[in-house]
Chains A and B, each alone.
Chain A
């Protein structure tokens, strides 16, 4: 079955530094979505990428969808304490209503 993997599992970042988290699928995806879950909270939608090679930016966050539509990345610049939480990628296979999530990257920030 489809598997979505994320690395690293944990990311400890000094405030102000940049980091990248990666998402890889065993199968081609029709889209990739990213969600953020704060401690004790629920996942909140950040963005969706649909096109091969697509890049989208949200302030300090840059999202990329790979050319083969099997991988994605999230890059955060100048990390702030508000970036604390777990970032999940999730994707659909073509015409499959099942949204498959990765295990997430949990980010902690040192002030």
Chain B
């Protein structure tokens, strides 16, 4: 059974640029959630995808967008990067519709630094 994988592991971008982060969900999981974790904070829910459709969204601006593909892998896109976007971006997969009530299986994360 393959766990959740994310790429890249680290990324450095300049303010104003755009970035795409990728996630492969655990085998058999059809729900993917994305979280932003600032240093010393808990993960903050960005949005969730279930069967290629956005299933819920946290308090993040529209420049944070995503996709889920037929194989349930997912992308997180962030446009017009700001310094405050520097964080660990975590992807988590779960079974069942929306993952409600199911444990989240987290990937290792992508560390994004915006300069």
* Contact surface of A with B, Cβ cutoff 8 Å: 1, 4, 6, 30-31, 33, 35, 41-45, 48, 50, 88, 90, 92, 95-104
Indicate if the CB atoms of B42 and A50 lie closer than 8 Å: no
* Contact surface of B with A, Cβ cutoff 8 Å: 33, 35, 40-45, 48, 50, 55-59, 90, 92, 98-101, 103-109
Nearest chain A CB to B93 CB, angstrom units: 12
Residues of A within 8 A of B55 (CB): 97
Indicate if the CB atoms of B103 and A101 lie closer than 8 Å: no
- A48–B45 Cα distance when bound, in Å, is 18
Indicate if the CB atoms of A101 and B109 lie closer than 8 Å: no
Closest to A1 in B: B59
Residues of B within 8 A of A95 (CB): 100
Known contacts A48-B101, A50-B101, A97-B55; A42 and B42 CB within 8 A of each other: no
Nearest chain A CB to B10 CB, angstrom units: 12
Residues of B within 8 A of A103 (CB): 40-42
Selected from B40, B43, B56, B92, the residue in CB contact (under 8 A) with A96 is B56
| Contact count A vs B, C-beta below 8 Å | 65
Known contacts A42-B108, A43-B90; A48 and B103 CB within 8 A of each other: yes
Indicate if the CB atoms of B98 and A97 lie closer than 8 Å: yes
Which 10 pairs from chain A and chain B are nearest by CB? A101-B42, A97-B56, A45-B103, A97-B98, A42-B106, A98-B45, A103-B42, A101-B43, A43-B106, A104-B42
Residues of A within 8 A of B101 (CB): 30-31, 48, 50, 92
Residues of B within 8 A of A30 (CB): 100-101
Residues of B within 8 A of A4 (CB): 42
- A30–B99 Cα distance when bound, in Å, is 13
Nearest chain B CB to A73 CB, angstrom units: 17
Selected from A44, A48, A97, the residue in CB contact (under 8 A) with B106 is A44
Residues of B within 8 A of A33 (CB): 103-104
Indicate if the CB atoms of B43 and A88 lie closer than 8 Å: yes
